[in-house]
Structures are given as C-alpha cells and as structure tokens.
Amino acid sequence: MEAVFLPKPLAWAFSTLLVVLPAPSAVSAGPAAETSISGRWKLVLVRPDRQRKFRIVFHQEGTRVSGSFADRRGRESVIEVGSFKDGKLEFQVTREFEGKPRVFKIAAQLKDAGKMEGRISMDGRDVGQLVFTRRTRRAEPAPSVALEELAGTWYAIAATPDGAKKDCQLVLTAKNGQLAGKFRFEGRSADLRDIRLKGDKLQFQFPFRLNDLDTVVRVEAQFHDKGLLKGKWTAFGRDSGEFTARQPVEL
C-alpha cells in the first residue's frame, strides 16, 4: 500500500501524543520472547522531509499495555487500547482534529531488548514509519530518607492555576525496598506510577481525568521536616501549582 504522509497540521496533532512509564524491566534477548516493555522510550516518526521525536512511557500488566505520549512541549495523551504479545506491540489513541475524532493506530515489532520498529495509521490510512528506542536511566542520588518514613497516609493540598486549593490524599506503602501508592481526590483514586526517591526529592505520576480530559499528572516534592512534603504538580504540559502534603501527627 502506498504510504500517505500526514500534512503538517495532522503531524502536529499526532505530535501531542506522549507516554510515560515505570522503570525498564529485564528483557530477554529474543525479539519474540515474553518480556516487558514497561519503562521510558523515545519514539521517532520518520517522514520524507524530517523526523519528529516524542517521549513515551509504557505500563505493562500481562499482555495489557497502558501509558502516555508526550511531545517536546510536554503535552500528553493517554493510550486507550494497548497490548504486547509475542514481541508485537499494538495500541491506539483517539484525538480530535478539526472537530472530528481521529483514531491513530500503532503496530510495532520488538527487534531487540531496546528497540522496536513499526507503522502508524490514521483512520485506516498508513502515514509513516516509527522507531522506538528504550531510554536508559541515569544514575540517581541515593535516597536520604528512609522509605518507612514516607509510608502512610499524607493529607495534601494542591493549588490550582486560578488560586483555589483542593484537598486530596496520598497513600504510600513501602515493601521490598520499593514504594507504591495511590492518589485520592473527590472520591476518585489512581495508582501512582514511576515513583522515584532521589536524595530528599520524591517524584511520581498518575493518570487522571481533569476538566473532562484524560491526562497524566506529575508531582515533584521535597521532604522537609518529618512528615512534610512541599513541591509542585504539573498536567497537560502547561498547568501547574503548589503541592503540600503532611502526615498526621501522633498524639
């Protein structure tokens, strides 16, 4: 089938898709081996005139894949339907363009532990080649805070761009040297992903629906005194605000 390359406006629409995932897992050498693609990847859309680069994060549970795309400006979109089986990755993202929903479908094959290649289509038309490269994580400062000090329920306040303050909860657990947790807001809950503790700084993210739009919220906070986290949150690559969380004081 003859390739149909995206016009610049549609290429921009695709460029707003980005994905973020947890740390890379061990991968078998064989391209079709059962493995995990969870982690951070660099994605390149190859076009005749130039290449466009994106960040993507995958979260894999069994054969199910979720995650998010992000462009250089940090604008993100959530993967709706995704799977990885026998070395083959498939997923799709729906985005509005000129008032109409456009369905982007991606299919790629694992070439080795750190590379996948495939194609992208829009509304059933082939529009270009894709190359995925796994990003290796740089050495990070050793945690200066014991994980046990972070475990528990944190009562947080997130300031919105318009100055409002929203109450929320951060629930962290520590097990086998790893942190896990949930973010709770207005009766809704989301699992934390890509949790990192670098020195006295805690970073995490979670998928959430804000203002009727799906996004990925990122939080970076510094551990001050015992029971106090202060930092900021970001979403949609543009919205941000202060984030403060405290543990309840034992009497």
- Which range has highest mean pLDDT (70-79, 90-99, 219-228)? 219-228
For residues 161 and 87, membership in a common domain is answered with no
**Banded model confidence at residue 6, pLDDT cuts 50, 70, 90:** very low
Pairwise CA distance, residues 98 & 194, whole Å: 34
* β-pair type (228-235, 239-246): antiparallel
Neighbours of 143 (CB within 10 A): 19
Which pairing describes strands 201-210 and 88-97: parallel, antiparallel, or unpaired? unpaired
Does residue 96 fall inside a structural domain?
yes
What band does 19 get if pLDDT is binned at 50, 70 and 90?
very low
Residue of higher predicted confidence among 165 and 126: 165
Residue that is last in its domain, among 134, 163, 179:
134
Question: Looking at the predicted structure, is the pLDDT value of residue 206 above 70?
Answer: yes
- Give the pLDDT confidence score for residue 74 in this predicted structure: 66
Instruction: Summarize pLDDT for 184-195 with one digit per residue, the tens.
Output: 998 999 999 888
C-alpha span between 43 and 135 (Å, rounded): 10
What are 33's two structure tokens? 């081996």
Choose one of 111, 134, 157: the last residue of a domain: 134
Please tell me whether residues 19 and 94 are part of one structural domain: yes
In a domain, 130, yes or no: yes
Confidence of residue 17 (pLDDT cuts 50, 70, 90): very low
Same domain membership, residue 151 and residue 130 = no
The number of domains in the chain is: 2
pLDDT averaged over every residue in the chain: 80
Question: Does one domain contain both 38 and 115?
Answer: yes
What does the pLDDT average to over 104-120?
Answer: 92
**Predicted confidence band of residue 212 (pLDDT cuts 50, 70, 90):** confident
pLDDT value of residue 221? 93
Among 61, 55, 28, 26, CA closest to 41 = 55
pTM for the whole structure: 0.54
Say what percent of the chain tops pLDDT 90.
32
Q: Does residue 232 sit in helix, strand or coil?
A: strand
Q: Check: CB of residue 67 under 8 Å from CB of residue 79.
A: yes
DSSP-derived 3-state class of residue 10: helix
- Is the pLDDT reported for residue 198 higher than 50? yes
Per residue in 148-171, pLDDT tens? 888 899 999 999 988 899 999 999
What mean pLDDT do residues 54-73 have? 84
Tell me whether residue 142 is in a domain: no
CATH number of the CATH domain containing 233: 2.40.128.380
Task: Summarize the confidence of residues 217-246 as an average pLDDT.
Answer: 88
Give the residue, 76 or 234, on which the prediction is more confident.
234
155/126 same-domain check: no
Residues 31 and 94 in one domain: yes
Picking from 78, 113, 134, the residue at the C-terminal end of a domain is 134
Is 71 part of a structural domain of the chain? yes
- E strands, the chain, in order: 39-46, 51-61, 64-70, 76-78, 81-85, 88-97, 100-112, 115-122, 125-134, 152-159, 165-175, 178-185, 188-191, 193-198, 201-210, 213-223, 228-235, 239-246
> Are 114 and 166 within one domain?
no
Judge whether residue 215 has pLDDT over 90: no
Shared domain check, 18 and 119: yes
Considering the domain boundaries, does residue 140 fall inside one? no
In a domain, 120, yes or no: yes
Residues 188 and 227 in one domain: yes
Nearest to 179 by CA among 150, 200, 221, 201: 150
**Are 64 and 85 within 8 A, CB to CB?**
no
Higher pLDDT, 131 or 76: 131
Rounded Cα–Cα distance for residues 43 and 41 (Å):
6
Alpha-carbon distances, residue 123 vs 2, 47, 70, 83, 194 (angstroms):
15, 18, 21, 19, 32
CB atoms within 10 A of CB 1: 7
Does residue 128 lie within any of the structural domains?
yes
Residue 1 lies in a domain: no
Residue 15 has pLDDT above 60, yes or no: no
What is the rounded CA–CA span in Å between residue 60 and residue 104?
A: 20
Instruction: Give the range of the structural domain holding residue 217, as residue numbers without chain letter.
Output: 147-246
Are 17 and 124 contained in the same domain?
A: yes
DSSP symbols for 30-80: STTSS----EEEEEEEE-SS-EEEEEEEEEEETTEEEEEEE-TT--EEE--
18 & 103 share domain: yes
Question: Do 195 and 110 fall within a single domain?
Answer: no
